[in-house]
Chains A and B, each alone.
Chain A
C-alpha cells in the first residue's frame, strides 16, 4: 500500500468507526444497563429503561445514532512511535469526522467561538479534540472515539480545593454537582473524577476516567475503595433512570489521579450519560484493525 492509499484507508476506517460508535453502545455499557434495568421495580423506572432498550434496538435495526446529540467528537489517541502513518493521523481524523458526519449522519455540533456559526461538518478550531499519548517502540495505534454530548458535559466542572478541605471536600464537590446538574444528564451516569494538583490536570483525568471499562478499578487500593464508596453513596440517593427516581443512580464511578502539590488538591468531574458512546479501535502497521470496545463489530 502506498502512502496515499494508506491515508485514504485510514480516513475511511475512522469515518466508519466513528459512524458505528454513534449507533452502538459498547459491550460493557449494554451489560450494565441490563443489570441496572433488571433491578428496578417501580413502574416509572421500568418504563424509562424499556424506552432505552427499545431505542438501542431501533438504532441498530434502522442504522441511526442512538441519541440525536452526537456530541463534539473527541479522539484519545495512543500512538506507537513506529506507526507508519503517524504523520497523517491528525489531518486524517479531521477528514474522517467530515465523512462520518455525512454518512451517519451525525448532528453538526461544532460552533465557532466568537463567530457563533455552526461549521456544519463537526470540524472547527481544534475540533475534533485530539488527545495524544505516546507508546514507545510500537508500530500500532489505539484510538478512542468519544462523543461528548451537551447534556452530559453540562455537569462537568473542576475546582482547586485547599488541602485542609481534604478528600471530604472532593466527595462533597462530586455529590453537590451530581444532585444538581447530574440529574438532567440522562442517568444512570458514569462518573469520572480526576484528583490532582491543578485544575487542568484534574479535568483531563476526569475525562480519561470515563474511558476505562466498567468494572475496572483505580490502581491504588484506597482509590478503588473510594470509587466503591462514592458509587454506593450515589446509588443510595436513588436518582433513577432519567432522574425520575429508582433504585440506582450510576453505572459506575471511576477515579484517576496524578500527584498533587502540597498546597492544593484539585478535583475534576466529567459525567457520561447512559448513552455512553465510547469506542476503542486498534490499528496495526498494515492497517488491520480490531474494535476492542464492541466485540465482533463489523464496521
Chain B
C-alpha cells in the first residue's frame, strides 16, 4: 500500500476519497489553533491573523525555543496533539469561517464537528497522543508566530511540515466518526463487564 500524503493547499477532491481509519501524512502548512484561538475568532469576533483556507490546523500547545542566532525565530522542541473534544462546540463554525480542510488533534470529536466536516468538506485526524518529539521531527520550519500574547501553548504557530504523521482519519467527509463508533462498542461491552464485576463486590457483612 502506498503512503497517502496530503499537500496543502488541500482540495475537496483530495479528501473526499478518504475514509475513517485511513492512515495519512501531511506536507505543507500546519497551524496550531486550540482553545483561545477558537475563542478569539468566535466569541470575541477578532479576525484571524492567518489565512487558513485549504490548510490544516493542529490542536496543540507546543514547547518552543528561541533560536539564539536568529532573533524572532523559533524551533520546535516538543509538539503533540491536545484533546480535540474541547473545541467541539466551536469547530463547525470555525471550519465554515476559515475554509480549513484538515483538523489534527487527539481523541474524537462530536456530532457538530462531524456535520461541519460533511457540509464544508473537511476531515479530522488524530496524531498519536503524547508522541511529541516524533511530531517535532516532522516540522521543517517554524515560519512565524501570531497572537503570542496568549502564551506559548495557545499562540498560533505557523509550521511547515514534511510527512507529518501517522495521522488516522477519525471523521471523514461522509459523516463517519471513528471514535463515536468505538465509543458505542465500548459502551455496549461495558454493561456486560460491569454485571460480571458487580456479582463479586458485595463486601457488606
Residues of A in contact with B (beta carbons under 8 Å apart): 44, 47-48, 51-52, 54-55, 58-59, 62, 64-70, 105-109, 111, 118, 120, 150-151, 154, 166-168, 170-172, 175, 179-180, 183-186, 222, 225-226, 229-230, 233-234, 236-239, 241-245, 273-275
Contact = CB atoms under 8 A, between A and B. Distances in A.
Q: From B60, B108, B134, B168, name the one whose CB has the most chain A CB atoms within 10 angstroms.
A: B134
9 contacts: A52-B131, A64-B63, A70-B63, A111-B151, A175-B194, A233-B196, A241-B128, A244-B126, A245-B182
Contact of B82 (A48, A64, A151, A238): A151
B152 A107 contact: yes
B61 A69 contact: yes
Nearest to B106: A184
B182 A236 contact: no
B166 A222 contact: no
Contacts of B197: 171, 229-230, 233
A175 B128 CA distance: 23
B65 A166 contact: no
Interface of B: 21, 23, 60-63, 65, 77-80, 82-85, 106-108, 126, 128-134, 136-137, 151-153, 166, 168, 178-179, 182-183, 185-187, 189-190, 193-194, 196-198, 200-204
Contact of B193 (A52, A175, A225): A175
A233 B194 contact: yes
Contact of B128 (A105, A167, A242): A242
A227 B30 CA distance: 43
B105 to A, nearest CB: 9
A51 B201 contact: no
Given A55-B133, A172-B194, A166 B201 contact: yes
**Most chain A CB within a 10 A radius of its CB, from B63, B78, B152, B202:** B78
A107 B76 CA distance: 12
Q: Sorted from nearest, which 7 A-B pairs have the closest CB atoms? A: A184-B107, A186-B129, A51-B128, A167-B201, A68-B132, A55-B131, A118-B151
A76 to B, nearest CB: 22
A64 B196 CA distance: 44
A243 B77 contact: no
Given A179-B183, A273-B129, A274-B130, A68 B193 contact: no
B132 A67 contact: yes
A44 B78 CA distance: 23
Contacts of A239: 182, 186
A58 B183 contact: no
A212 to B, nearest CB: 21
B182 A65 contact: no
A151 B82 CA distance: 7
Contacts of A170: 201
Contacts, number: 178
B194 A171 contact: yes
Contact of B77 (A64, A166, A222): A64
A44 B106 CA distance: 15
Contacts of A185: 83, 107
B128 A52 contact: yes
A200 to B, nearest CB: 23
A62 B182 contact: no
Contact of A54 (B131, B151, B152): B131
Given A108-B151, A186-B130, A273-B129, A233 B193 contact: yes
Contacts of A68: 60-63, 77-80, 132
Contact of A179 (B82, B186, B204): B186
Nearest to B63: A107
A244 B178 contact: yes
Among A59, A106, A151, A154, the most chain B Cβ lie within 10 Å of the Cβ of: A151
B63 A184 contact: no
B131 A51 contact: yes
Given A175-B193, A237-B186, A239-B186, 17 more contacts: A44-B23, A54-B134, A55-B134, A62-B133, A66-B132, A66-B133, A68-B79, A69-B132, A118-B152, A151-B129, A168-B198, A171-B198, A185-B83, A225-B200, A229-B200, A238-B185, A275-B130
Contacts of B202: 166-168
Nearest to B78: A68
Given A108-B151, A150-B83, A184-B108, A237 B193 contact: yes
B62 to A, nearest CB: 5
B203 A167 contact: yes
Contacts of A150: 82-83
Contacts of B179: 183, 243
Nearest to A67: B130
